[in-house]
Structure 1
Amino acid sequence: MNDAEPLTLTQTADGTGRARETLAKRLADIICLPSSVIGPQERWIVGDLLYEILRNSDARIRRRCATRLAEIKDAPANIVKLLAADDIDIAKPLLEKSQALSDFDLMEICRLSSLDHRVLIAGRDKVSETVSAALASIGEAPVIMALLKNMNAQLAPPTVNHIVSLAQDSVSYIPSLLKRVEMRPRAALQLFWFCDHDNRKLILSRFAVGRSLMIEAAEDVFAMAAGEGWSDPLVNRALKFVDRRQRNREAATQSAYGSLEGLIGSISTRGADMAAIEELALLAGISDSLANRICRDMGGEPAAILCKATGADREFLVQLCQGLGLDSGGGLERALHVYDGIPVEKAQTVLRYWDWSKVAEADGK
């Protein structure tokens, strides 16, 4: 295998004479001729000569060639890549426009060049999933913002998930993330926990859906699973997501509080310690970790989802918010706004998806 063309300039790049400048211009003129005048083999030979001249020429000549070659679709790739990795003022027109740069070229430039180069690559008219992944993996905020705002940049699910994970510490990504068509329920409902009230409402309006089709499709599967003694944990978990019922009725008959509402009444006066949160999880039919996260969230919206999904009346949401310390700072108002605006079935979808995704992550699914 041949060695890759170097992307660095030689130490003799300064002090270019008139003859070298003129020759570089003439060779560039030939390369820019249409294919009806020059064949591909001749273009590549001329390109090899020009490549060596440019590596040993000053910035003025390289800048002029870069500007000309940016518009040439079949410009020699080695020259285009060399100039696209050059100083940013030389590379700019090529990084913005050149169609002669392959994904491999862009990824190499991304790896070896500056932040400014990566921002320009992220803003190109077309950015493939592969290049987007390479850019996002570095984790630079200006590059990620440029990618998110570029609707011609393609983001693969792992790239979206990576950026969602970064949004916990970089909330400025969230508005642009939520505009992306690549966002999926799992990523959006994970992002929910890091959002402000307006973006939480946006996520609920877009990703909180009903389960009518799933319920209808799985209706007879409940009897099958029961006939098998509920022996398949994967089926059991999926059916729990589909089930019309949210509360654990059996747990309520054994609870010292008698019902979910009884527990909420206790929380309203005594607060929510770990024992109360574990009891809340049991009665609501969710995991302890999700119940704890809901109770520790000061936004109020998750508490509203919990109460609406379990069929608790509005007054019990008020009591729960009071017990969780959400009746000051706008938490109760936000909770009531969400409670009043979301149907029970959609609230159940959100609550169960939170729980299901956490279990799936724990199982490495």
Structure 2
Amino acid sequence: MSTVVPLDPVNQARDIPLSGLNQLLDLARKRSPEDQRRLLLGVAGLYESTKAQGSAPDALADIFIALTRSAERDVRQSLAKQLARVDWAPAALVRMLAADEIQIARPVIAASPLLLDDDLLHLLADCSIEHQIQVALRPDLGAAVARAIVERGDPTVMTALATNRSARIETAAFADLVDQSRHLAALRAPLTRHPALDETLAARLYQWVGEALRQAISDRFALDPVRLAQAIEVATDEARRAQAEPAPSLAAEDPDARLVAKLHAAGQLRPAYLIRALREGKLGVFAHGMAALGRFDIAHVRRALQGDTARPLFLACTAVGLDRAAFPTLLAEIRKLNKGFPADPDASAWRLAERSADQAAYEFRLLMAEVDAASV
């Protein structure tokens, strides 16, 4: 009587001919998403069991990755949730999922122990703003990644980092965040509560926060009253000087505002109309049109038009639906009508990674936030 020898999943996986991988992928693609999900979970279970017995064969890892790459979106999303916290999955597969669209990537970026600092730095450099935000929110984020976020200087990503109280932020990088908060109001409240804030940086932050946050800083640190009084005096003097500066002017604001309001109410205000207004030399109409379409404060649009960088204007244009490829031409038209503003010193200060319209609008409002106490 012959003895039945049970199949060894490790040896069985090692014996899988790679020449049959394409046939397996073709078969998987023809299956329903539910069949794909079951197939992937089966491969995942096989991989986990072989990993528990030693090292999983490379051929099985290749099959796992290839099947995931060819799977439907919902299947990849389900798998990402399954693998988000495990330590046995192929590292290359986890990196692939982390770079997938954000709904798939989010749980992996947030929790996977297989993502190293170098992987997170690649996500910051190569992926969308949503991926970068999720990196900044990752628990126990390493100092090297936090430093890279501050050096990149993206307002939304820095704000996300400031809210991450478990992030390991070096003193120099945290000091840069405090300095950035002078002009970026969204940073102030989270920095006030961050455990990395020390007494020296608290005194610096105290100068430009509102009354509520000053009280929070005073409650947290026993700061010298004389030192605080000096900080208040500095902040007050700077606010007075800012108020004394004449506001940027755009000709014929009232007629332009009335025209734009009428077009907007009639549903005739479109991004293409803003381009036409510029070609006709109507900078005031363009400004009010941007404010109406983006639901921006007209003062913020004016400030963007008078800025020392074209970055805020680029964000506003993205937010209202203007094609980013058309921005260089649009910027040139604006500068002709606006005495060379906004400045564009290196001709690339506005070049940013892809943003959705909502994300661009959010970043624009952060950049244009008032710096006085009332904005906090």
TM-score, length of structure 1 as denominator length:
0.49
The higher radius of gyration belongs to 1
TM-score by length of 2: 0.48
Highest relative contact order (Cα 8 Å, sep 6+), 1 or 2?
2
